[in-house]
Structures are given as C-alpha cells and as structure tokens.
Structure 1
Amino acid sequence: MNNQLAASVFLGVFLLLALAGCQEPPSVAADAKTALNSQDSPNASKDELNLLAQKVAKKSISARSWSQIKASGYINAVKLDWQLESALPRAGSTSAYHSILLQRFADERGLKINWLRVSNLAAMFSKLATFDVDIIPRHLTITATRLEKFSFSYPLLRDREVVIAKAGNDSFNSKDDITITLPIGSAYIDSVSKQFPHWHINIVEEKVSSQEMADTIVDGAMKYTLIDVFALETLQQYRDDIQSVFILPKAITLAWAVNLDNDSFLHELNDFISVHHVMQVVEPERKIDFDQLKKDKLTLRVITRNSPETYFLWRGELLGFEYELMRKFADINKVKLVIVVADTYDEMLTLLAEGKGDIIAAGLSRTQARTKKIAQAGLAISIRYNRVKEQLVAHQDSLAINELADLNGRTITIRKSSSFWTTAQRLAQDFGANIVIANENIATEILISQVADKEIDLTIADSNLIAIESSFRTEIITPLTFKEDVPYAYLVRKNNPQLLANLNEFVRKYYRGTFYNVVKNKYFHNKKSKESHKKHRLLSGSSLSPYDDIVRSYVKPYNFDWRLIVSQMYQESRFDPLASNASGAFGLMQMLPRTAAELGVEDLKDPEQAIASGVQYLNWTRDRFSKDLPVQEQIFFSLASYNAGYGHVKDAQRLARQLGLRSDRWFNNVEKAMLLLQRRQYYQKARFGYVRGREPVNYVRDIHQRYLSYIRITG
C-alpha cells in the first residue's frame, strides 16, 4: 500500500510539474488522466506507473510549427483506415483526392508524409487535438464549434448537405419527427441539431463511408442519412438505388484542419492552395481551348473507358496505358488531370461534343468509317500515338486456321459498334464466316475470355488487348492477322486547335521514346511467369519455405495460421524475395511500395519487412469485413481483397445480394459475382469499376488448396 501511495504521489507531482512547466493544453492533460484512469489494474506497480509517466512526458505538448515540420523532414497526417484504398474516380471525385493533393504539397517542399490511420472522424480530431498529427487532409465542414478548437485552410470545396434515402422513397417531410443516422464526429450532427432540432439523431460509431451508409439504407437497416451533394454525385455515377429527398438550406464550406495558432503551417498550406487553385468542383460544360484552360487553372478532363487497356483500379493504384500517357501530358503542361469514364464509344463522342470533357483517350483506332463520323460530329483527330494489329482470337484446341479459307463455317462473335465490324463483314461475305452480334455491354476482353473458356468459337481484337489477356489466359492463340498497322489517335473538338497542337507535339516528342516504351511494355509485353516456376515437392515433416520461422513469428499477433501465409507467399512470389511485377508490386508478398509505406514498411527487399507488410495488409483487409462472418469466410474474403483490392470484393458482395446469392459466403456465391464484374453491365454500376474477376477467384482457390496440402504435410 505504501509503495502504491508513494508511486501515486510521485506520478501526481510529475504530472503537475510537467503541466505547469510546459503549459500543456487541457486536451493533453485530459489525455493523461484518461490514460491513468484506464489502467487494467488499480494495483499498478511503481514500475508500471513510472513507465506511464515516461510515456506522458514524451507526448507532444504543442503543435509543430512549419519550421519544425520542415526540419523533421515529414508531415504527420491522418486518414481513415478504410481509405487505404480509394474508389475508382469517374469524374474527378475520390477520397484519394486529398492524399494526392497533400503528397503534391509535400513533394514540392521536399517532405515525406507519415500517415496515421484511425477508425472514425472523431478519432481524427482527437489525434489533431493531442498533437499526434499536424493536419487532417480531408473535406471537413467549417463550423463555429470546430473553429473554437481548430484552424482551417482556404476552402477546397463549397457544397450543400443533402438527406438521402432509398430510391422510390417520396414520403420525406422535413417538418416530421424523423430519425436520421449519422457517423460519429461528423459536422452533420451540428447541422441537424441547429437547423432541425426536432429530428432524432442516431449515431453510428463504427467506421463507415458514404458508400456503406448508402448500402445500409438500401438494405433497410436505416431510413435516412446526410451526406454532401458532392458525395451524392459521386455515388450516383455508378448506382441508382439511392436518391436525394431534401437539401438543407445552409451552404457549407469544406477545408483541411490544423491546430489553432499554427499560423506558419497554415500560411504555407494556404499559399499552396492559392497557387494551385485546388478548389474541387463539379465543373460545368465548357469548350474553351487549351491556353485559356491553363490560364484559368482549370482541370484537363480526359474521357476514357474503364478497362484493362485504358484505366482501372488495382489494389488502390490507378493504372492503365491511356491513363499513364495522359497523366504525363498533364504533368508536362502543369494542369490537373480529371478522368471522365464513359461506357460506350457513342457516349464518349457525346460527352466531348457537349463540352463535358476535353480529350478522348481510349484506345480508339483511326478507321475510315470512324474518321467520317468524327468529322460530322465537329471533332478533330490527332496524329497516331500507337499502332496495333487486328487479329483473330481462337482457342488452342480448336480446329486449325491457317488461311482465310479456313474460316468457312466458323463463327465470329463481335459487337456491331466495334472497329473490327467491317473486317468481320468482309470475312462473312468473302470467306463464309458466320457472324454473331455480341451484346454492346460485352467488352472485347470478355469475348476473349469466352473464347478461352470455349463458350464462343472466335472473336477479333487488337494485339495490345490480346497481349494483356494472353498473360492470364494461355489457352488463346492468334492464328490470323488481318491488319498490321492500325493507328490509335486522340479526339478533341475542332474548335480546340491549341489542345490538338499540344497533343500532337506530345506524341512527336514521346512516341517510341523511353517513357513511352516503358509504359507500353508494362501493360502489353510483360508476361506473367506463372508457368516458369516448378512447384516445390514437399515431403511430410519438411519445411514449407526458407521463411517458415519468420512467418511464424509475424503471424502470432494476428492469429493467422502460418501455413496459410506461406501458401499465399508461394502464390505471390514463389519465395523469390526480389520478385516484381509490371504494376510495381515487389517482394515476397508482392506489396505496392506506397501501401507498404503506409503500413510502416520501407524495404520490401528485406524478407522480414516484406512478410510483415503482407501479414499487416491481410489483417487490414480482414478487419474491414463483418466480424459476423465465420472465421474461414473472413480468410477467403481477405485473400480475395489482397489480390484484387478490398473495394472490388465489397462490390462483389453488393452484387451477390442483388442477384440473390449469399454475400457472406465466398465459394459459389460472392466468387460468382466477382466473375460478373468483368462484364460492362455490372462493373459500370460498381464503385470500384472493372476487375479481372477470374484472377481473385483462382487466387483464393489455389491458396486454399495449397494450404490444405501444407496442413497434411506438416501434420
């Protein structure tokens, strides 16, 4: 008792001296009291209390000034943990916007970003208040209550708040005593409390996004919630099952938050915002030319398709041949890039003609028929920036095709809107091929996969797309080439000659140069070496890999079976610590460097760090799924997320529910929905867009089967 009393007196005096000597803000003092009161045992030892005192003493007691931040070499920032992956941007709106913007700020000033992840918005403000982070880079509503505690940057967005409900719900009346569900810590709570005090507020304390709130409404678990109009427009780009029922009368201003009186850091942020004019808005239709666009610091809007050739999301990274070329063009011209996703060729032309985009960059072949239609639509075409072959796609086991005459009686499935339609018609007329018109919603990559699965006989595709698909589907062959030099070109409006001239200059400078060839090889000439590795022959009692002991040590805190991780490691890298792929993933667990850095891992060449990053990321994906899932199902969903990205798996779960399948079972349920997300009619309504669904399906099955074998081997 005397020891405990002495320790308590010591700690009390220590805290009083610390608070008095350093003039610690009340928030930190409150944190220290909370820490003391939350000890597991009221009979803490002197050593334990001393250790706690040391931790409190080390805690930052004031906001870091700009000079201190710059001297340290890094910015401490916070994000929600479910934002490790962002949604597919369809018209410039994405949660990745703020991460990218802050990264640009840091890069220009030679700094790194140290990301801290928390579960909800309230925790974000708590971390800022206790000086654990320097900034919250997120659209935050500036309210009177928040202004008492924090400072805000120049506005990044001006918006309105809107009540949303399930589509078809027309019974909303703002005068009624309604119940509205809101996430903890959000400014929506203040808005409702002040503007509609008669509404009943139900607080959700879990980590939720606007997408998940919308899902909960559609499922019937809640009736109404409040989001920004900007967030609603993002959701409505790909879903039609929610609607706006009421817009709150007062407009809101959104910005980043820093601590009060941190004027030097705030000045630096505001200077950046002013120079780069980063106000995020949904832009109206416009048809101005390039010089005016740059003068007004407007975004360059590129119209493209969500497809493996052009633009897609993989493990939180935006990728695609067209996307990377346009990003380079935007960087060179010092303009911000916005992607506008269209579903069909005709929709692209319409968006461009109406001034809803500035360039079409979608792997469009410059055919005679298309050139005529382009001119009639008041559009102009660039010089060639790529060349492809027009080839026949067949299954390797089908009857041999050595010449055009062998097409007699064979069936070619193709879309009527395809640039290959004219070729198909000629093959039917001159060589007796049968032509089946494919549904316009079926993309060419799906037709190729149907050939590989023997669902259809033949199709026609360009050599770039065939190169992508053949790296995953070894069953396909190209017995005939119809055209050797099919040019790809960009489209702009005729009244934008400056933009056309800049595009042509870009092509002349970079076409077939080092940058261009690296990007092209990344997507079209980098074969996966799945078959180049012989499977390890394992005997009972033998080790599974050279890294068994490392894996055993790292899985303990996460309750994974070490043999599962070894099975996954084999799938990812065949135990090669220097393995890499074209998309930038590296190491034993094939982690993307950016994702690994956010998990605190810097050297993916080091086996321990590589394994640590993989285990942490698999655990992160598992934590995103409902704890109501059986343990085994959590593993299946986690593996699928690791391979394809958490967002694509959530899309598949939502689609499974819509199809009457079980969203809590992977095999024969969600995996079926995942396969459908390769098809345009499904992925165009998915938040994360196109996914090569067969890859995660095979990934989970292969790892599971190998894991079962490992269990038998190791006993």
Structure 2
Amino acid sequence: MPEFANRILLSRLRLAAILLLGVVLCLTPYRHFKPVSGLLEEVRERDFISIHTRNTPTTYYEGRHGPTGFEYELMRRFAEYLGVSLTLDARHHIQSALDAVRQEGDLAAAALPLDLTQPDLIYSRPILDLQPLLVYRRGLPPVKDPEALAGLTIGTIRGSGTDRVLRELQAEHPELGWRESSEVEVAELLSQVEGGYLDAAVVFEHQFRINRIFFPGVERGFPLGKPLSMAWAFPASGGLGLQQAANRFLYGLKQAGVLDELVARHFGHDDYLEYVGARVFIAHLNERLPTYAELFREAARNTGFDWKLLAALGYQESHWDPEATSPTGVRGLMMLTLPTAGEMGVSDRLDPVQSVDGGARYLRQLKDRLPESIQGDDRLYMAMAAYNVGLGHLYDARRIAEELGGDPNSWEDVREALPLLQKREWHSKTRHGYARGGEPVIYVRNIRRYYEILSYVDRSQQQYLQLNEAPNGVDEEFPLFDIISPLHQ
C-alpha cells in the first residue's frame, strides 16, 4: 500500500511539473525559448548574423583595406560558412558585449575568456589560449615573481579574465591589490604603465606581443597563473544550433591548419624589429618625423600612396636623416642613387623636398611597371622590393618562384625565392645574376612593420590625448579604475 501511494504521489508531481512548464512556456516570449536549432534557423532565414565585438588591434579594427583583426577574420569566415552576411556592433567593452548578446544579437566575439559561471550564456569550443602576463615599467627593479608585486600599482581590464587570475592570486597573497576597469583597453593600460600612472599591468601574452613595439618603455615580467581559453558567447535562450555550427566551423579551421595560420599572421610577428631598434624608431617618430610629415603627405597626394607608407619607406632608407649617405653612394632622406635621381629630375639628393618627391614618384613608377597579373598588396610589396634590389632582380626571383612551382604573382612565393639569388646554382641561371636577395625580404618586412606602427599611432592620436585629460569627477591619477584593495585592509 505505501508503494502504491508513492506511485500516485510521483504521478501527481510529474503532472504538476508539466502544467507549470506549460504556463511558463505560454508566458515567456519566443526570444527566450527556442528549440535546439532555433537561433541558427533564425540567422539563416534573415540572411545575416549579428555579432557584438570590440574595437581593438587584436580583435577588430579598420585597416588600410577595410575591416581586419584576428577575430574579425574568424567572424567573416563563419558568416561565409553559414552562407549569410555579417553585421557588427563594435562599440563594446567585454561586459557590455556579454550583456548585449543576452538581449539581442547572435553571438559575442570580443576576446572573451571562457567562463562557465556566466548566467544565460553558452560558449563555443576554445579558440585561443590566453596566457596572463605581468608587465611593468622599464626602469623599475625586475618583476619576476608574485612576491615582487607588493607595493606596485597594478592595472587590468575587468571581465577579461586577467582580473579573475588576480583574485585567485590574492587568495595566496592577501597583500595584493590592483585597479581594474571595463572602460580601458590594452593600449591604454600599457600607455599608463609607460607614462607612470601605473607601475605594472596584467594583460595576455598575445596582446603584449602585438602591442609591445608601440610601448618600448614597458618590460615583460612573468606569466601569471595557467592559461585561460578564448571563446565565443551565445545566448542560452537561442538553443544549441548556432553554437554547434560554430564548433564545427572552428574545428574545421583547426584541422585544416587555417586557425594556426591566422594566429601566426596576427600575433606572431613581434620579432620583426629588434627591440632596441623599436625604441629608437619611437624616439625618431617623435623627434624627426614632425619635420618631414607634410612632405610625405604632399608626395602621397601626388602619387596616390598612403603618406604613412612613404614615411615608413623613408625611415627604412635613412631613419629620416636628410643627409644620410651610404658607402655605395646613395644619398638623402629617400636614399636615391645618382641615376635614379637624374631619371626623377632630382638635382639635389640632400634636399628633403626633392628627395621625398623623387622617391615617391620612383616607387609609383616601379609599381606601374609591374605586370598587370600582380594585384593588391602583392603588387605593392614587390614594388617596394624593387626599390631596394631593382626590377631586374625582382623579375629573376619571380622566374625562380615559378620554377619552384610557386606563383610568380604572389609576394609570399617571390619572398621565398629572393634569397636564392645569393646562391650560384640559382643566380647563374638568371638574366641579372647575383643579388643580396635576403635584403629586400627584410626591407619589405620592416617597412610593413613601421607602417603598422605609424598607422596605429595615427589612429590612436586622439585616444592618447584623452589619456592625459582626466574626465570630470574622476580620480586624475587613476582615471576610470576601481581599486581592489588588499584582503588585509
């Protein structure tokens, strides 16, 4: 009898639960309850996917040829994978991106740490390892372990995952305190460290790698804690379909090696410039470039190049020294040879006005003389290589690239062939013979990196000015930061 009574009670409880669920379903808007594939099907029906992101160098930003950035590349490819168009809202910081995707939009892709404690969200498979890193101001005693953090003013980004690591460390080191804000980005943190507002900051390894060249006054300290995982966030109310599609997409990129290629392309080039050389470049940018910036702008207007590209080429040639002279006889700010100067109508190679104008027109001439089959950035990079090594040697390298099974219209393949001009077995078969073919490879690489720095500084000029102006009502010494006090206080 008791067993029978228990069965009746369980049946009644199940019935009550079913009725309650029915009431909830009736009262809950459709947005908050979708079947497994609900949001995915909605995306396909409306023919676009809406993504919340951040405007940062490591996530999404406007480059020379339009939108770019590591996560932007992934978002764009994911939209193509789904067969839909892409719309972005990049006005977010981390927390606002998460809040927004809970209410509207389809996913958040904003260098988000995978956090399974976040309510109403589900996450994709891990995309990238995020290793927290302590960095500090050059000139301070070396900061190589947690014990050295005592007494330092440390900053970090709230919600990025680095704040979570600091809280875990504080449990072991109660004297640890820091300042955090969701309103700052990595560049601002590093700027405040370099400027003395902060002694140190906790960022991620890949973020420091891509930004370090802009902040030569900031030193690498030590890794903090174990790596976290970057992932995309989806509204839990949208079902599992979109998340599962993203997981299949990301898994496919990983298996094909495409994900690793994107990581290497966006985060793997901090060694393009020797670190001390980067510091010298930043110093020259502040001290020398202002004198010649208008010359580069005028030459850019006349030739159609970006003035920052011409300035980057000028720095590679002479370090913006108008009287520079090489042992081989090239002279001036753009280091023109005597025959090139005569061809360009430059009567005085040491005159900065003539040198910049002549160098820009010569680069334009080289680019225009290349075959029409070379397009886009490949065409620009080959023109820059020809500025260094000459068109004849560039054509020889293109033929070698083709002989090796590569694409003579691809800078990536020609770049691999150029150093072979130094080897007799190869240059003996070419029309123009031996060349120091490794030099134009480094030459183009450096100009591209200098151009990145100049573009970054140009984009960030207003931001840097704002960093020195405390908002009304905000602590002038530590604007925007909330102070996390040591546990013993």
Smaller-chain TM-score range?
0.5 to 0.7
Distance change (3 Å), C-alpha of 1:674 and 1:445? closer
Match of 1:449 in 2: 191
> Amino acid of the residue matched to residue 289 of structure 1?
L
Deviations 1:650-669 (A, max 9, x none): x88xxxxxxxxxxxxxxxxx
Distance 1:330 1:401, change over 3 A: same
CA contact (8 A) 2:144 2:222 kept: yes
Partner amino acid, structure 2, of 1:291 = E
Give the conservation status (yes or no) of the 8 Å contact 2:52–2:90. yes
Aligned to 2:109: 361
Where does 1:336-415 land on structure 2 (aligned, <5 Å)? 336-355=85-104, 357-367=105-115, 371-373=116-118, 376=119, 378-415=120-157
Report how far residue 434 of structure 1 moved. Answer: 4.9
| 2:57/2:69 contact within 8 Å kept | yes
Q: In the alignment, what sits opposite 1:324?
A: 73
Partners of 1:338 and 1:512 lie apart in 2 by 27
Q: Is the 8 A contact 1:471 1:528 kept in 2?
A: no
Please, which of 477, 494, 500 is the counterpart of residue 243 of structure 2?
A: 500
Rounded Cα–Cα distance in structure 1 between residues aligned with 2:358 and 2:467: 29
Choose the corresponding residue for 1:644, options 455, 465, 483.
Answer: 455
Letter in 2 for 1:372: T
Deviation at 1:327, TM superposition (A): 1.2
Pick aligned residue for 1:514 from 233, 257, 267: 257
In structure 2, what residue type is equivalent to 1:409?
G
- SS of 1:437's partner is strand
Identical pairs, percent: 17
The alignment status of 1:460 with 2:240, answered yes or no, reads: no
Structure-2 change in CA distance of 1:482 and 1:555 (3 Å): farther
Q: 333-342 vs 532-541, which deviates more? A: 532-541
Gaps in structure 1 of 5+ consecutive residues: 1-284, 579-591, 612-638, 653-670, 683-715
| Contact 1:392–1:480 under 8 Å retained in 2 | yes
Residues 413-492 of structure 1: matches in 2 within 5 Å? 413-428=155-170, 430-431=172-173, 434-492=176-234
Q: What are the superposed Cα offsets for residues 342-401 of structure 1, whole Å, 9 maximum, x if unpaired?
A: 32223212321222x21111111113xxx222xx2x221111111121111113421122
- Partner residue, 1:258: none
Residue 607 of structure 1 corresponds to: 387
Contact 1:310 1:362 in 2 (8 A): yes
Secondary structure in 1 matching 2:224: strand
- The aligned counterpart of 1:543 is 331
Q: CA deviation at 1:333?
A: 2.5
Q: CA deviation at 1:301?
A: 1.4
- What is the RMSD computed on CA atoms of the aligned residues? 4.5
3-state SS in 2 of match to 1:372 = coil
Distance 2:80 2:463 in 1: 35
User: What aligned pairs does 1:69-218 form with structure 2 within 5 A after superposition?
Assistant: none
What is the match of residue 304 of structure 1? 53
Q: How far off is 1:566 after superposition? A: 7.5
Shift of 1:500: 0.7
- Counterpart mapping for 1:255-294 below 5 A: 289-294=39-44
Could you tell me how far 1:325 is from its partner in structure 2? 1.1
Aligned residue pair count: 318
- Name the CA distance, whole Å, in 2 between partners of 1:605 and 1:322: 30
The 5-angstrom pairing of residues 29-48 of structure 1 reads none
Deviation of 1:461 (Å):
0.7
In 1: Cα distance, 2:224 partner to 2:470 partner: 29
* Cα distance change on mapping 1:465 and 1:383 into 2, 3 Å: same
The letter for the 2-side match of 1:359 is L
CA contact (8 A) 2:153 2:179 kept: no
User: How has the CA–CA distance of structure 1 residues 330 and 546 changed in structure 2, closer, same or farther, with 3 Å as cutoff?
Assistant: same
| TM-score normalised per structure 1 | 0.38
Which secondary structure state, in structure 2, belongs to the residue aligned with residue 300 of structure 1?
Answer: strand
Secondary structure of the equivalent of 1:441? coil
Contact 1:305 1:341 survives alignment (8 Å)? yes
What is the distance in 2 between the residues matched to 1:497 and 1:555? 67
Task: Show the 5 A alignment for 1:204-243.
Answer: none
Query: Do the aligned residues in 2 keep the contact of 1:312 with 1:319 (CA within 8 Å)?
Result: yes
In 1, are the aligned partners of 2:94 and 2:182 still within 8 Å (CA)? no
How far is the alpha carbon of 1:510 from its aligned partner? 1.5
In structure 2, the partner of 1:123 is none
Change (3 A) 1:426 1:563: same
For structure 2, which runs of at least 5 residues remain unmatched after alignment? Answer: 1-30, 278-315, 368-373, 392-449, 472-489
User: Could you tell me which amino acid in structure 1 is paired with residue 455 of structure 2?
Assistant: A
Residue type at the aligned position of 2:465: L
Q: CA deviation at 1:467?
A: 1.0
Amino acid corresponding to residue 208 of structure 2 in structure 1:
I
Asked if the contact 1:412/1:460 (under 8 Å) is kept, the reply is yes
The structure-2 alpha-carbon separation of the partners of 1:392 and 1:543, relative to structure 1 and needing over 3 Å to count, comes to same
* Pairwise CA distance, 1:549: 5.0
> Taking structure 1 as reference, are residues 568 and 389 closer, same or farther at Cα in structure 2, changes over 3 Å only?
farther
More helix by share: 2
In structure 2, the CA distance between the partners of 1:293 and 1:366, relative to structure 1 (3 Å rule), is: closer
Q: Tell me if the contact between 2:330 and 2:338 (Cα under 8 Å) persists in the aligned partners.
A: no
Distance 1:445 1:553 in 2: 44
User: What amino acid sits opposite 1:499 in the alignment?
Assistant: L
- Given the superposition, is the C-alpha separation of residues 519 and 680 from structure 1 closer, same or farther in structure 2, using an over 3 Å criterion? farther
Q: In structure 1, how many angstroms separate the alpha carbons of the residues matched to 2:469 and 2:229?
A: 25
Q: Which residue type is aligned with residue 243 of structure 2?
A: L
Shift of 1:438: 4.1
Q: Give the partner amino acid of 2:114.
A: R
Tell me, in whole angstroms, the C-alpha distance in 2 between the residues paired with 1:470 and 1:329. 30
Encode CA deviations 1:477-498: one digit per residue, 9 max, x unaligned: 3322122321111111222311
Query: CA deviation digits over 1:86-140, x for unaligned, max 9?
Result: xxxxxxxxxxxxxxxxxxxxxxxxxxxxxxxxxxxxxxxxxxxxxxxxxxxxxxx
Distance (Å, rounded) in 2 between the aligned partners of 1:641 and 1:448: 17
Confirm or deny: 8 A CA contact 2:48 2:84 kept in the other structure.
Answer: yes
CA contact (8 A) 2:336 2:355 kept: no
Q: Give the distance between the partners of 1:466 and 1:641, measured in 2 at CA.
A: 15
